[in-house]
Amino acid sequence: MNPNVIAVEAQALADRAAALALQAKQMADSVAPVAAAAEPFLLLLTVFLMACFVGYYVVWQVTPALHSPLMGVTNAISSVIVVGAILATGTAESGLARFFGFLAIILASVNIFGGFLVTRRMLAMFQSKKKG
């Protein structure tokens, strides 16, 4: 083979590679805003799903002797969440933020009252009022 022909073919391949690299860069730049917007969502979704699984397995592994003290702590945490959700709902500027704040209030309230029912503290409160 002639070295000049090889050099010309090599130059043509190099030009074609440069054009493909430029095209790949342009495609990557056009996709980057979409990927950047999806990454935080996927990260937060992954954390949420892992928290659900870990929470499920942690709750079901608690011995009955520890259940009442843990529910008391959960009720205290949920009461702080209710206060924060009320503040967030009251200062929200969009309807979506108000909806999620209201939803947080409802879910945390259900958690508090459910914890009282599970630990039978509500019954104890009512029984002490009847006696007194």
Q: Which amino acid is at 23?
A: Q
Mean pLDDT of 29-55: 75
Q: For the chain, what is the domain count?
A: 2
Of residues 50 and 33, which shows the higher confidence score?
A: 50
Q: Is 33 in the same domain as 81?
A: no
Q: Is 89 in the same domain as 116?
A: yes
* Sign of the dihedral defined by the CA atoms of residues 70, 73, 75, 78, in that order: negative
Q: Is 75 in the same domain as 24?
A: no
Residue for token pair 């702590």:
73
Each residue of 61-94: pLDDT tens digit?
777 666 666 666 777 777 888 888 888 888 888 8
Q: Is 2 in the same domain as 46?
A: yes
Q: Is 80 in the same domain as 106?
A: yes
108: domain range?
Answer: 63-132
Q: Is 22 in the same domain as 44?
A: yes
Using DSSP, state whether 111 is helix, strand or coil: helix
d(CA 50, CA 119): 27
CB 82 within 8 A of CB 112: yes
Give the list of residues 6+ apart from residue 119 with CB closer than 8 angstroms, or none. Answer: 67, 68, 71, 72
Give the pLDDT band of residue 33 (cuts 50, 70, 90): low
Q: Is 23 in the same domain as 79?
A: no
43 pLDDT above the threshold of 70: yes
Using DSSP, state whether 1 is helix, strand or coil: coil
The predicted model scores a pTM of: 0.43
Give the pLDDT band of residue 120 (cuts 50, 70, 90): low
Q: Please give the pLDDT value at position 128.
A: 67
Instruction: Write down the mean pLDDT value for the chain.
Output: 78
* DSSP assignments along 46-93, one per residue: HHHHHHHHHHHHHHHT--HHHHHHHHHHHHHHHHHHHHHHHHHHHH--
